Chains A and B, each alone.
Chain A
Amino acid sequence: MTAREIHWRQVKHHWEIYLFVVPTLVLIGLFVYYPAASGVFHSFFRWNGADISEFVGLDNYRHLVRSTEFWRSFKVAFILGLWNVVKMIPALLVAVCIHRCRSPRMQFFYRTMFVVPMVIPGLIVVLIWRSFFFEATSGYLNQFLHATGLMNVLGWWKPELFGPEKNPAWLGDPRLILVACIVWGFPWVGSFAVLTHLAKLQGISRDVYEAAEIDGVNWWTKFTKIELPLIMGSIYLLLVFVIIDTLKDAGMILALAGMQGGPGGVVTVPALFMIRKAFIEQEMGYACAVGIILTTIVITLQKTLTWLMTAEKPWWVRWRQQRLHARALRAARATNRPQSYRPPRTIHPKWRRWGGWFLRGLKHAFIWAVLAFAFLPLYLMIIVSFKTNQQFYAAPATITFPLHPENWSEAWRLVTPTVANSIFISVSATVLTLCFALGAAYFFARLRMPLSRFFWNAILILMMMPMIANLVPLFRLLGDLNLLNTLTALILVGAASGQVVAIFVLRNFVSDIPGDLYEAAEIDGANHFQQLRHVVLPLSGPILGTVGVMQFIHAWNEFVLPLIVMRDHARLPVMVQLLRMAGEYIKFWGPLMAGYALAAIPIIVLFIFSMKLFVRGLTEGAVKG
């Protein structure tokens, strides 16, 4: 449906549609735009967040430009970003392997299995890596390197760090902590990339594959000539998100390396630098300037990457491609065959059959290997949750008897209040997001009202703005509104930050609803409220479910803002509680792991229930690349 243009003189017939967007505008105006504007304003001040507020002009920016620590943080972020791009490869390979499974049942099985590591909150995975894998004396990583002999190999390369008698301190050694920040989460399938790629791959028609098989195309050519080009769109999109998210993120580094960014601040990223300046050194104006520069760089980078990915190719590239194409055509004419045709290799049928089995076996082995590594944190979480500390020291990686289920009741006691808080916050924020976003989506999709383009662009800009850059003025705003240490703050801010993606997704959906349905309703005398209620809402179930699940997971996993804003233990969300539990001086591993499991279970259950919905939402093109 193409939205009908409405002119100013026609507004009086449709004025009530503006009411649909007002709640969204108020929410994002107050919790996103106001902090952003305040951040810009205060970046020109020496501001301690309290009584000192002195205009210093561009001094903050001058100091920043000269600050080697600041630019080093960008270097760290770019290194991590580039590696995060490399870390997309396993997800892509897994998606292709699953897609190539001939049995739909196996495909479904694998897809279901990969859901679990995907939905375990990233913070929990980080904490497990921090406590179990990176620990120097008896961590799994060092044990694995010793057991496989890789430690000796590494020792030959870097004898000062590795060797048969050495136990590298991955998080304690400034030479190794950056490696640790890259390596954590192996095999890096813990995001929605697998499902997204799968959804796109499943959009490729079977006819294409059949035609390719007739031509005798091998598996590599299938991948490079058919699958990769067709999913390139989603790869580009994910690439942009990955690089930008790395630049914006502070949460995982904070969880892994602490507020100081590891020994010597080696893995400080820009967002962490900003948080430290604001909330430890009390240089809030300076932190606002960091936020502004971060926003500028992120927006510039997003625009640049998007242009690079989608722009028309420069003339010299076109000229070269034309020459190559002309040469291929000449060659094809000379042999009287289509240029893409390659005669099938003459391979003995028996060898071809065995080769096919081998490749199929390899494919399944690869998927199972990745699954095993992906499930390792979950496995550890479960088996350690039934151990005492002594059992853990004696046999950290295997089940030991007797089991200790009382760890779970201890964990339940510790995390129940915070799980309740998280459920309350996440559900409330999700409901608010959906209510407001659906109305706003209707506003943008249904008619092209005056000012709608302006509002739409205002929302689009928010997609590029890193929310963390507004953390400092947001904190101040919440203080002024007396919302610090309240669940209301987390709900409202969560709803505000969820508006952007939700409106984007829902707008596409609403605009896909045939216009005839609206006309029929209009003819029956339905106003916009009634059209929304009787036309849009009944059709929105799946998409609302998809968006709701994403928003719920986002709200559930959020911990940076609550870390700053909440004081009382009784009001903490579960992720902050887990972070605090991980900071305990003596760790009782059993209850700790049981606590992690309890924090992950609601998400896993929710996702299993809603997976069909979610996948349908993806495959029906809800997330348009």
Chain B
Amino acid sequence: MGSMQVRWWFASVLIMFSDGVAATPPSMSGWDYYRLGDFSMAARMFEREAARGDAGALYGLAATWHWRRPGEDLEKARQLYEQVLAQAPESDWAAWSALALARMKATMPPGKEPPVTEILAAYQRVVDRYPWHNAGEEAFLFIQATRLSQVETDAAAVVQELERFLKERPQSKYRSTAFGLLAYANEILGRPEQQLAALLAQLEALETDPLNPTRDVSGLYWQIAAVACFEVGDLRLAREIYQKFIHEYPTDSRVFFAKQQLKRIDELEARLRRERLTAQRSTQE
């Protein structure tokens, strides 16, 4: 029984009554805890990092209080977002904070959401403040999506806005999403050709992940083929897309269905040809 045991005992006592944050793996930052869903630890880590003046950590703290469920504190989150806006107004974090404030209105629980006009106005403020930032473009798209998801919708006005957006921003990374909204708006308006064109443009504009070049566009192929076939009547395009679908996604659940559609197309054409022949014969007679 010597000093070693005494020191061990004191160390044990200290450990027992210490803060208790023991053995934290060195790589776990605030965002690491956030992604694991451990918001209490995330908040603590963000507070330490934010105390060093890190705007990203302040944004992280705001996001933690905004999106944690349960335990959200929207008022606290709002104040923190505004602090980011005040502290680093030209930073990326500020732009995303502005969008987050608008999203706060749009994502209120059912029954507590403000009128749609107020939500749209909040997005518009972000667009006005950060027109060329990713956050501003997202806000613009949120405006159009919100308008289109109302039961009573002014799809024609949305189409105009989207076409203007696409014309003015040929390099925008959100073109594909914008085309997707355009296709939907044209569907509502009953304009299948424009809908099809928008879907094709959406496919064309899709981004490619440099670290994961294979991407899943089977859903988009399916929609294009269906619209081309059953709405527009472009059987050539429908065949092409169904065959691409079958070729590129041979193990997809819809391959059998796609083959059925190809067969139906063939049968339809055959039937129409027969009808034409019959009509021609009877005309000749």
Binding site for B on A (CB under 8 A): 34, 37-38, 41, 45-47, 50-55
Asked if B44 contacts A54 (CB within 8 A), the reply is yes
Give the distance in Å from the alpha carbon of A13 to the alpha carbon of B244 in the complex. 99
> Is the C-beta of B25 less than 8 angstroms from some C-beta in chain A?
yes
Q: Evaluate contact between A52 and B38: CB separation under 8 angstroms.
A: yes
B151 in the interface (beta carbon within 8 A): no
Bitwise interface map of B from 44 to 88 toward A, beta carbon under 8 Å scored 1, else 0: 100000000000000000000000000000000000000000000
Q: How far is the CA of A46 from the CA of B38 in the complex (A)?
A: 11
B40 touches A46 (CB 8 A): yes
| Least distance between A43 CB and chain B CB atoms (Å) | 12
B16 touches A53 (CB 8 A): no
CB neighbours (8 Å) of B16 from chain A are 37-38, 41
Residues of A within 8 A of B24 (CB): 51
Is B23 located at the chain interface by the 8 A CB criterion? yes
A54 in contact with B40 (CB, 8 Å): yes
Question: Is there contact, CB below 8 Å, between A54 and B23?
Answer: no
Q: How far is the CB of B192 from chain A (nearest CB, A)?
A: 53
Whether B28 contacts A51 by the Cβ 8 Å rule is yes
Main secondary structure of the interface of B (DSSP, over half): loop
Q: Which residues of B contact A55 (CB under 8 A)?
A: 20
Set of chain A residues within 8 Å of B44, measured between Cβ atoms: 54
- Residues of A near B21 (CB, < 8 A) are 51, 53
- Rounded to whole angstroms, the CA-CA distance of A52 and B44 in the bound complex is 11
Report A-chain residues with C-beta under 8 Å of the C-beta of B25. 51
Name 9 interchain pairs, CB-CB below 8 A, sorted by A. A34-B12, A38-B16, A41-B17, A51-B22, A51-B24, A53-B19, A53-B21, A53-B22, A54-B41
The docked-state distance in angstroms from the alpha carbon of A38 to that of B18 is 12
| Max chain B Cβ within 10 angstroms of own Cβ: one of A37, A47, A54, A55 | A54
CA distance A26 to B164 in the complex (A): 80
A60: shortest Cβ distance to chain B, in Å? Answer: 14
Residues of B near A45 (CB, < 8 A) are: 20
Contact of B41 among A34, A38, A41, A52 (CB under 8 A): A52
Instruction: Kindly provide the distance from the CB of B205 to the nearest chain A CB, expressed in whole angstroms.
Output: 43
Specify which chain A residues have a CB less than 8 angstroms from the CB of B41 in the assembled complex: 51-52, 54
Q: Are A53 and B20 in contact (CB under 8 A)?
A: yes
In the complex formed, the residue of B with least CB distance to A46 is B40
**Contact mask B6-20 → A, CB, 8 Å, 1/0?**
000000100011011
Report Cα–Cα, A54/B47, bound state, in Å.
15
Shortest Cβ distance from B4 into chain A, in angstroms? 14
Rounded to whole angstroms, the CA-CA distance of A436 and B16 in the bound complex is: 28
B25: nearest residue on chain A (CB-CB)?
Answer: A51
A47 touches B23 (CB 8 A): no
Cα A53 to Cα B19 in complex, Å, equals 8
Inter-chain contact A47/B28, CB cutoff 8 Å: no
Residue of B nearest to A40 (CB): B16
Residue of B nearest to A45 (CB): B20
Q: CA of A37 to CA of B16 in the docked complex: distance in angstroms?
A: 9
Q: Which residue of A is nearest B12, CB measured?
A: A34
A51 CA to B23 CA, complexed, in Å:
6
In the complex, the chain B residue whose C-beta lies closest to that of A54 is B40
Closest CB of chain A to B35's CB: distance in Å? 14
Chain A, residue nearest B44 (CB): A54
Tell me how far the C-beta of A10 lies from the nearest C-beta in chain B, rounded to whole angstroms: 23
* Cα distance A45–B15 in the bound complex, in angstroms: 14
Q: Name the A residues within 8 Å of B28 (CB-CB).
A: 51
Residues of A within 8 A of B38 (CB): 52
Contact B12 A47 (CB under 8 A): no
Complex CA gap A272/B23 in Å reads 28
Interface residues of B in 69-112 (CB under 8 A from A): none
Residues on B with beta carbons closer than 8 Å to the beta carbon of A53: 19-22
- Closest B residue to A37 using CB positions: B16
Query: Which among B17, B20, B24, B44 has the highest number of chain A CB atoms within 10 Å?
Result: B20
Q: How far is the CB of B22 from chain A (nearest CB, A)?
A: 6
15 new A-B contacts, CB < 8 A, other than A41-B16, A45-B20, A51-B23, are A34-B12, A37-B16, A38-B16, A47-B20, A50-B23, A51-B21, A51-B22, A51-B24, A51-B28, A51-B41, A52-B38, A52-B41, A53-B19, A53-B22, A54-B41
User: What B residues does A51 contact at CB under 8 A?
Assistant: 21-25, 28, 41
Question: Within the assembled complex, what's the spacing in Å between the Cα atoms of A47 and B20?
Answer: 9
